[in-house]
A and B are shown apart, each in its own frame.
Chain A
Amino acid sequence: MPRLSVWMVRAALLHLGFGFFLGGLILWQKGPGGIPGAWQWLPVHIHMVLMGWTVQLAFGVAYWILPRFAQREAEQGRVEQLRGREGLAWASFVLFNASTLTALAAPLGWAWALPISGILAALAGFAFVLHAWPRVKPFMA
């Protein structure tokens, strides 16, 4: 597993843990109660489990297993690296996690937190699609 995939998958697992924890708080509030602020965390819970966990895990695994380019293509300068434009994938990783960290400020009262978080997530998605698009090809084509 390449280094970026390790980072992405581990970050996804951390989002799974935190996202499930927030979901647990909200469900507990629906039941026994006693956590009045739990509902404020609903948008963060959704963002953590959908984007931080599911999508980031898919990106990490895609970066690992999508077809790579042939060594000769890299030597001829037709692609930047064997996994193509790796910088875009790294940018996606940074933007994704900046997005989920920004969302954490929403329940604390910062009104712009969720819009900015959404923009960062969109940029992360675009960066990864740009990275992965040329790699969706037959093996060694």
Chain B
Amino acid sequence: MPPLTRLFIKTGFVHFAVSLIVGALLLLNGPLDLPRWVSALRPVYYHLLMVGWVTQLIFGVIFWMFPKQTREQPRGNERLAWFTYYTLNAGLLLRFLFEPWQALAPNTVAAWALGAAALLQVAAGWSFIGASWARVKGK
């Protein structure tokens, strides 16, 4: 298993674990009347689960298992795939920190951090397409 795949999958596990904790907090919020910031975590929960865990796991497995691109460059443009890893996780971290803050107390710092998170996540998705497209092929 290549190093980038291990990193994608292990970081995915971390996102999965954090999403489970956030999900549990959201469920406890009804009966326990937890602080207001807990309910602001709902979009973060969805994205930790579906982007941080599911999509990141898929990215790692695709990078590992899809057909080799060429003999010289079996896993295609690896730099682009590494760029995907960094932008995806930087974007998720920014939204984890700033999305609840912006929801509860809108301010310029949080707003522009979310703008940066949006650009990073789109860059992650598009760079992964660029890194993988040529590996989606027949024999």
**A residues engaging B (CB < 8 A)?**
1-3, 6, 9-10, 13-14, 16-17, 19-21, 23-25, 27-28, 30-33, 49-50, 53-54, 57
Contact = CB atoms under 8 A, between A and B. Distances in A.
A24 B55 CA distance: 16
Contact of A24 (B111, B118, B128): B118
Given A16-B125, A31-B113, A32-B111, 18 more contacts: A1-B136, A6-B137, A9-B136, A13-B128, A16-B55, A17-B126, A20-B124, A21-B122, A21-B126, A23-B122, A28-B115, A28-B119, A30-B99, A30-B103, A31-B117, A31-B118, A49-B50, A54-B54
Interface of B: 50, 54-55, 58, 66-67, 95, 98-99, 102-103, 110-115, 117-119, 121-122, 124-126, 128-129, 132-133, 136-139
> Which of A3, A28, A50 is packed against the most chain B CB atoms within 10 Å?
A28
Contacts of A49: 50, 55
Contacts of B136: 1, 6, 9-10, 13
A27 B124 CA distance: 15
Contacts of B103: 30
A24 B123 CA distance: 10
A13 B115 contact: no
Nearest to B47: A23
A57 B65 CA distance: 14
Report whether over half of chain A's contact residues are helix, strand or loop; otherwise say mixed: helix
A118 B135 CA distance: 31
B109 to A, nearest CB: 10
B110 to A, nearest CB: 7
A16 B128 contact: yes
B111 A33 contact: yes
A1 B138 contact: yes
Nearest to A32: B115
A57 B133 CA distance: 13
Contact of A28 (B99, B114, B125): B114
